[in-house]
Homo-oligomer: A and B are copies of this chain.
Amino acid sequence: MKRPTSLDYAILGLLNQNPQSGYRVRKAFENTALGNYSSSPGAIYPAINRLQELELVEKTNMPNSKKMIFKSTEKGTELLKEWFLKPIEINEIATELNELLLRFGFMDRLIDREEQLNFLGSLKVQLEVYIKSLKEYHKNNSTTLPINGRLAFEHGISSYETTLKWCQKAIKTITNSKS
């Protein structure tokens, strides 16, 4: 592993929130709408082993138990923080929006409110830029596109507009939250 994958971060984020077994992580991916990551054992267990080798997670020592409960190490927490604070690039809006939402979802407790608002503010700006470019494209090409293609494209625009509205709501919610 050169750089952790999106799945690695998702697992690390979960284990940072509360220590748990690989099986629990799998179930979290399977049952909750968390991203849309694979929950197959062939993906999760090797990923946890990778994280362990890099000392980003470790087993909790529960002497009288056979279960393997993993938790984030200090190093793992630091890596998560870096991930949270990494500047948002415009191309991530189009291809990794899910991961951006995941970043936000795990930010709790690990970085302060001001930095969370920074993240949301930056997300908002990049969304606005991207939506503008989509609308520009739509304006110039809607007549040439086949009807289904045009509709599918319009779905994209609506989706990003929904995310933008959510972003504004989230900024308000975080602003008004107790510290």
Q: State A170–B159 Cα separation when bound (angstroms).
A: 14
Q: Is A104 touching B134 in the complex (CB atoms < 8 A)?
A: no
Residues of B within 8 A of A161 (CB): 162
Q: Is B33 touching A105 in the complex (CB atoms < 8 A)?
A: no
Copies of this protein in the assembly total 2
Q: Is A105 touching B173 in the complex (CB atoms < 8 A)?
A: no
Residues of B within 8 A of A79 (CB): none
Q: Is A153 touching B33 in the complex (CB atoms < 8 A)?
A: yes
Number of A interface residues, CB 8 Å? 40
Q: Is B36 touching A152 in the complex (CB atoms < 8 A)?
A: no
Known: A33-B94, A152-B101. A108 touches B163 (CB 8 A): no
Q: Is residue A27 within 8 Å, beta carbon to beta carbon, of the partner chain?
A: no
A-B contact pairs, 23 of them (CB 8 A): A32-B137, A33-B94, A33-B153, A36-B94, A36-B95, A36-B96, A104-B148, A105-B148, A105-B149, A105-B152, A106-B149, A107-B148, A108-B146, A109-B146, A147-B173, A151-B166, A151-B169, A151-B170, A151-B173, A158-B162, A158-B165, A159-B162, A162-B162
**15 new A-B pairs (CB below 8 Å) besides A33-B94, A155-B170, A158-B162?**
A32-B137, A33-B153, A101-B152, A101-B155, A104-B151, A106-B149, A107-B148, A109-B146, A151-B174, A154-B166, A155-B163, A155-B166, A158-B166, A159-B159, A159-B162
